[in-house]
Amino acid sequence: MGKYERVFEDLSAKIDDGTYPVGSLLPSEKKLTETYGVSRETARKALALLTDRGYIQKIMGKGSVVINHSQYALPVSNIVSYKEFSANTGTGSRSDVFALEETNLPTAPFKDLAPDLEPLPAIHVGRVRYLDGEPAIVDNTYVLSSVVPNIPREAAEDSLYEYFENGLGLHIAYSSKQIKVEPATARDRELMKLAKGEYVAVTVSITSLEDTTTFEYTESRHRADKFIYQDFARRR
Amino acid sequence: MGKYERVFEDLSAKIDDGTYPVGSLLPSEKKLTETYGVSRETARKALALLTDRGYIQKIMGKGSVVINHSQYALPVSNIVSYKEFSANTGTGSRSDVFALEETNLPTAPFKDLAPDLEPLPAIHVGRVRYLDGEPAIVDNTYVLSSVVPNIPREAAEDSLYEYFENGLGLHIAYSSKQIKVEPATARDRELMKLAKGEYVAVTVSITSLEDTTTFEYTESRHRADKFIYQDFARRR
DNA sequence: TAGTGGTCTAGACCACTAC
DNA sequence: TAGTGGTCTAGACCACTAT
């Protein structure tokens, strides 16, 4: 871990634990170079990370002000997996795997994000996710067989991301995603015990590795009343 | 505009116009310092911007690969105003202002994002937005009177952001937002001509200035079938 | 081995804010 | 005026990738 990451970790921890409360100023860049024994550009890199994550807002001639940043987010938000999300929020996590099979990638759900998608060989993982003990999310994930030839059932039941990153050593880099609202299908109603006429929030994402290989396609169908997406953005 | 911004503008333009197609490599950092007559750190700042915006993925020992980045986004996505959005996508823009009045900020819609919100004096702007000639969005914006004492009707009909930034010289910095799904209210059905039992996508946002003053609160209610939110994110 | 990006430094000059 | 952040430089050393 580089020096600037250490400085970032220390400052973000001190913001989280209230050492630097919302509205207060962080030490000046000059002070940070002395405190942490780093050059100014290195201190500035740490501050840039804090800015990007919504911890601070820098004000010219004044300093770095601690601001309210989003505390938690749904899995869809920043490529955070369902398991990481439940661990963060403390909601009980449970997944029923209802499909784990070799198939071809369906192109229809991903048409908007990838118009020229080919029906490549893939492994389909279908899961029902529970929030507070109730079925709340139906996930259909397609992983390209060319990148991941096999998925053990335990990985599907636990966490696919954990398996990809720690088990296979894949480096996940970025993702394009969409959120839409659709009427619940008969399958949605069956799996999530919904009444007729209800709607679901649908998130579609396409995820790539650090070498720019696209390898994973997911459609998540959320019970509308359990769905919240939260984000922090900067004007550009 | 700094040098690194000029380099960013030039490179992003060349990615957009196909000079550097998706999958190709940008010139190396060394080459960029020679081409643009800047130091390496300055060239790297430009590349960092391209990375943040989803234009490129850097690969160690190899170079900067051009990737597919999200082309357009709904207003909610990156603090882009409705007018900027319609201008980018070419969909006809039109707004009916149905409310422009002094009132107190309602705290209920913003409870999740700002639990301790006070009912401060504010100007309420209520608008119906049209996409493809049909009423598709109901916006309720509340602007704190302490920051914006008055909003001319023309500004409400045209673009509030344009008025805030160019008319008043406010510097918009960041925003927290949420997306939820709710049953359409009687008011939604009336304004957007929806049938009974339909749902709406609701986005709630709280926007702050560069001096960290929070000044604007918006609830946008979207016709579900016209709503798409698109985003690009990096794993962290 | 040569070329690439990742990190870090010490110093400089500038623009802005507070007093 | 003093202190703050914003930008830029020239150089260094390292880790990784290609060949």
Residue B115, pLDDT score: 81
Say which residue, A234 or A148, is predicted with more confidence: A148
Residue A74 scores a pLDDT above 70: no
Q: What are phi and psi of A8, to 5 degrees?
A: -60, -45
* CB within 8 Å: A228 and B112: yes
What is the residue extent of each domain of chain A?
3-66, 82-226
**C6 nearest neighbour residue (CA to C1'):** B60
- Determine contact, residues A112/B228, Cβ cutoff 8 Å: yes
Confidence of residue A143 (pLDDT cuts 50, 70, 90): very high
Least confident of A97-101, A129-133, A152-156, B63-67: A129-133
Under a CB-based contact definition with an 8 Å cutoff, are residues B212 and B182 in contact? no
CATH superfamily, with its number, for domain B82-226: Chorismate lyase-like (3.40.1410.10)
Of B211, B204, B205, B216, give the one whose Cα is nearest residue B146.
B216
Please, where are the H alpha helices in chain B?
A: 3-16, 29-36, 40-52, 82-89, 153-157, 160-162, 186-192
Looking across all nucleic acid strands, the nucleotide with the smallest C1' to CA distance from residue A63 is: D4
To the nearest whole Å, the CA of B39 is away from the closest chain A CA by 14
Q: Which of A79, A212, A216, A217 is the best substitution to test chain B (most B C-beta atoms within 10 A)? A: A212
CA A2 to C1' C6, whole Å = 9
- Of A21-25, A56-60, A67-71, B72-76, the range with the lowest mean pLDDT is B72-76
Render pLDDT for B178-190 as a digit per residue (tens, 0 to 9).
888 999 999 999 9
What is the b/e burial string over A111-149, where b = at least 16 CB atoms within 10 angstroms of the residue's CB?
eebbeebeeeebbbbbbbbbbeeebbbbbbbbbbbeebe
**Chain A neighbors of B179, CB-CB under 8 A:** 179, 201, 227-230
Flag residues of chain B having pLDDT under 70: 70-93, 236
| Burial (Cβ within 10 Å: 0-12, 13-18, ≥19) of residue B100 | middle
Residue B53 has what pLDDT? 86
Mark yes or no for CB contact B234/A173 under 8 Å.
yes
- Of the two residues A192 and B228, the one the predictor is more confident about is A192
pLDDT of residue B146: 93
* Whether pLDDT at A77 is above 50: no
Test A178 with B212 for CB contact under 8 angstroms.
no
Give the model's pLDDT for residue B76.
Answer: 40
Give the residue among A119, A114, A76 at the shortest CA–CA distance from B70: A114
Query: Can A3-66 and A82-226 be said to share one CATH topology?
Result: no
Q: What is residue B15's predicted lDDT score, i.e. its pLDDT?
A: 94
CA A39 – C1' C9 distance (Å)?
A: 6
> CA A73 to CA A83: how far, in whole Å?
12
A233 CB neighbours in chain B (<8 A) are 77-79, 174-175, 177
Check whether A72 has a pLDDT greater than 70.
no
pLDDT of residue B26: 96
* Nucleotide lying nearest to B36, CA to C1' measure: D8
Provide mean pLDDT across the span A86-104: 76
pLDDT band at A27 (very low <50, low <70, confident <90, very high): very high
Sheet holding A94-104, edge to edge: A94-104, A121-131, A134-144, A214-223, A199-209, A172-183, B228-234
Task: Identify from B212, B214, B221 which residue to disrupt to test chain A contact, counting A C-beta atoms within 10 A and taking the largest count.
Answer: B212
Beta bridge partners of A206: A176, A217
User: Does the beta-carbon distance from B228 to A178 stay under 8 Å?
Assistant: yes
Do strands A94-104 and A63-66 pair parallel, antiparallel, or not at all (unpaired)?
unpaired
For residue A234, give the nearest of B41, B173, B234 by CB distance. Answer: B173
Domain A3-66, second-level architecture: Orthogonal Bundle (1.10)
How sure is the predictor about A64, in pLDDT bands with cuts at 50, 70 and 90? Answer: very high
Q: Between A47 and A205, where is the model more confident?
A: A47
Lookup: tokens for A77: 């938000």
Residue nearest to nucleotide D7 (CA to C1'): B2
